[in-house]
Structure 1
Amino acid sequence: MMAYAFLTWIVLLMLLRVIAYETVQDAAIISRHMVEHSINSIGTMATVYPSDHPTMAGQPFGLQEYYASCFSNGSLTLLVLPISRHSQNILHSPVHSASITISSQHPAASHSRVSLLGNVTVYQDWDNVFEEEAIKACYLGRHPDASRWLPNDEDAAHIAYWARFDPHSIYFVGGFGDEHYIGYIPLEIYQNASAARGVAGRVLIEQHA
């Protein structure tokens, strides 16, 4: 009898554990919400020093970076300033690779975080930026102080270019693994998680090659 009760208890625990797990669809929705509704729209970017760097070739570099969630498929808008270390690493990368990690509002081991790995398209032709006014409004809506270094501004403090970050891999940690989803989110599921929702009532810009 005791063995039967113990076995029943184990089965119940296993069922509760399964119920507690987030699905990959849940993880995608949580990730998109964290990225799109971040209070500061600041993530930790990671890039790699170019192979011809005299002292740091191939070494990783991580630092906080502004971003804005402007696209319906989850791609992000960046400002690339050639004076910055991240921008130099991206521009020297054969595929302009980078990653951006965003955490929940109060980062902790038990809270969600997501790492987006992808490529950066830099628009060095100022006159050929898709939906530039919408991109500008989106970015400045998140970072008003960036008005001092916008692209194609003769009075700007530094040269800058609009850029789009397109994630190709998404890795999610929902918290502790016995309660939350931990692992990769398929790109299509991530892209479609909130494509029609918009941010703060604003319709997101459709992706454009």
Structure 2
Amino acid sequence: MKYLPLLASIFATISIVSAKETVGDAAHIARELIQTSSIGTLSSTYPSGHDLAGQPFGLMEYYAPCYANGSLAILFFGISQNGRNILASPGQAASISIQSPPSYSLATKPRVALVGNVTVFSSHYEGGEALKECYKQSHPDAWWVPGNKAGVHDAVWARFDPHTIYFVGGFGGMHYIGHIPLDIFQNAHAASPPRMRIQGQ
């Protein structure tokens, strides 16, 4: 009988260890977070020659999870500060950070940072209608999408392709914190029903 508390402690420890998030779990959670959210923080870096050269810049940005491989559809405005920074960046580099919806103790909830590159499409991009349909599922308020008569003149479609994924599942111990390999991220699937998907590049 005197060993029962010790055995209970051992089994509890085994249970906790077995329940710890794996990198695969983290990939699925990250894809679910990206799928169910539609707003992130788009960040870029001021280019050389600017008074703030090398300094980071970030603002809230709409996105839509339109690509099966985890790439994101965004509206690109070349006149915006992020737009100018991205166009002046080698490889048109940027990052998008996405967090869980506002709730109690948000610091304990999952969030993910995607580092990648932006491909900007022309105003005559043939896939524009498909992107518009997908994007409007996430943002029915977005009257400024390309092709709308009331749209913003400078808006064009763009694709954000992440190459580096950093995930924080919550506080350490039970939750995964660290990088997710790109192939694992791209092959993971969200639990929520997907919006219209476009084949990723």
TM-score > 0.5 by shorter chain: yes
Matches within 5 A, 1:18-57: 18-38=17-37, 41-53=38-50, 55-57=51-53
CA distance in 2, matches of 1:26, 1:170: 14
CA distance in 2, matches of 1:198, 1:133: 21
How far apart are 1:11 and its partner, in Å?
A: 4.0
CA distance in 2, matches of 1:198, 1:94: 36
CA distance in 2, matches of 1:181, 1:143: 30
Matches within 5 A, 1:1-209: 11-38=10-37, 41-53=38-50, 55-106=51-102, 108-123=106-121, 125-129=122-126, 131-148=127-144, 150-151=145-146, 155-194=150-189, 199=194, 202-208=195-201
CA distance in 2, matches of 1:115, 1:155: 33
Q: Deviations over 1:111-167 (max 9, x none)?
A: 1111111100011x22234x221101111222233222x335665333111100000
One-letter code aligned to 2:61: E
Assess, with a 3 A threshold, how the Cα gap between structure 1 residues 60 and 25 changes in structure 2: closer, same or farther. Answer: same
CA distance in 2, matches of 1:173, 1:197: 20
Aligned-pair RMSD on alpha carbons?
2.4
Structure 2 unpaired stretches of 5+: none
CA distance in 1, matches of 2:193, 2:158: 20
CA distance in 2, matches of 1:153, 1:140: 12
TM-score by length of 1: 0.85
Structure 1 unpaired stretches of 5+: none
CA distance in 2, matches of 1:37, 1:142: 9
